[in-house]
Each structure stands twice: as C-alpha cells, then as structure tokens.
Amino acid sequence: MLQLLLLRHAKSSWDDPALEDHERQLAKRGTKAARRMGRFMADENIMPDLILSSDAIRTRATLTLIMAAAAPDPMPPITFSNDLYLPGAQTILDVVRREAGAARSVMVVAHNPGLQALALSLTRSGAKRDLEALAMKFPTAALAELTFDATAQWDDIAPASGHLARLVVPRDLMSK
C-alpha cells in the first residue's frame, strides 16, 4: 500500500513584518505544536521512507522539531525543494511522482492552500469527521494520512483514488 503523509508547517511568526515570507521563523505556538506532532508520530510509529520538504525556514524548522521528537532510527532521507514553496496541488503531486522512487511512504512538508487542495482532490473515502474537518481547514502542523491501493504506484495516484486514513490536528493532541 502507498502512504502519502501531508504535513503543513507549524504556525509561523509575524513578529518581523519586514522579513520575507520564505524566511519567517516559527512562532512559540508553532514550536510546541511541531514537538507534539513529532511525539504523536513516534507513539503511532508513523515514519515515512522519504521526506520531501519546502525549503522555507518555517518548514525546515517544523521538520527539525518533529524529527527531534520522533527520533527515528534510521532517519529517512530528506529532500528540500523550492518547488514545494507555496505550490499548487498538481505541483506537489508532480514532485512526489518525480522523487518517490521505490518509497512506499512519502511525507510532504509544505504550505497551504496547496496541501489542502491536494488532500481534497485525492480523497475518495475516509471518516466523515475527518473529511468534514479537512474540507473546512488544514490547520498549521496538521497531518493528513492518505493511503492508496496495494497495487498502486505513484504514477497511478489520481483524483479520488485515495483513502483519508486520518487527519491529526495538534490541538487534538493537547492531552497526549
């Protein structure tokens, strides 16, 4: 089975309005949320074979905090790409198809609205609560886990071909 993990970067800081968007750091709330998500991923044994990430500072920082909290051994390979900085849904899918190779599980760390649009377009089924939540919002530091048929290859991924296995939002992890 193929697994596509879509992770939106954690909450970024707007403390320095003169800073270019690409260079924004994480807010304190974002740092806490990223650590929570990393612990959740470790507890649930969620670790991809490959990580594809935007090269923006906030996505790099999110990924660093998640990996530190999850402490995977071995660390999956990570590719940073400007192609994943503020991309549309099709661009994200194109990057996954180009880079995934033999990986059966890929995590993309990027930005909205592209991540939400991709998740919505690929989803055929899932829990009603998760589908409704995803349709409304893809919050910062949220993780959408999509799965695809066991015989699927990355080039087979098409609209309405996936199952939304879960949508995990950091605020739901507060007690964990």
Q: What is the pLDDT of residues 47-84, one digit of tens each?
A: 999 999 999 999 999 999 999 999 888 899 999 999 99
Provide the pLDDT for residue 134.
97
Provide the pLDDT for residue 56.
98
First-last CA distance in the chain: 28
138 in Cβ contact with 115 (< 8 Å): yes
What's the whole-number mean pLDDT along residues 88-116?
Answer: 97
Is the model's pLDDT at 175 over the cut of 80?
no
Name the pairing type of β-strands 162-168 and 143-148.
antiparallel
Q: Which two tokens stand for residue 75?
A: 């660390």
Q: Distance between CA 3 and CA 124 in Å, rounded?
A: 14
Average pLDDT of the chain to the nearest whole number: 95
Question: What DSSP state is assigned to residue 139?
Answer: -
15-19, 86-90, 147-151 — which one is most confidently predicted on average?
Answer: 86-90
What pTM, to 2 d.p., does this model score? 0.96
Distances (CA, A) of 152 to 1, 48, 104: 7, 17, 10
Domain 2-11+22-173 is of which CATH architecture? 3-Layer(aba) Sandwich (3.40)
Provide the pLDDT for residue 176.
47
User: Tokens 């893809």, residue?
Assistant: 138
Q: Where are the alpha helices (DSSP H) in the chain?
A: 28-43, 57-70, 89-99, 114-122, 128-136
SS3 118: helix
Q: What percentage of the chain has pLDDT greater than the value 70?
A: 99
What's the whole-number mean pLDDT along residues 97-120?
Answer: 97
Q: Distance between CA 144 and CA 164 in Å, rounded?
A: 7
154 in Cβ contact with 122 (< 8 Å): no
Is the model's pLDDT at 91 over the cut of 70?
yes
Per residue in 135-169, pLDDT tens? 999 999 999 999 999 888 999 999 999 999 999 99
Interacting residues of 64 by C-beta distance below 8 A, sequence separation 6+ = none
Q: 38: pLDDT confidence band, cut at 50, 70 and 90?
A: very high
SS3 87: coil
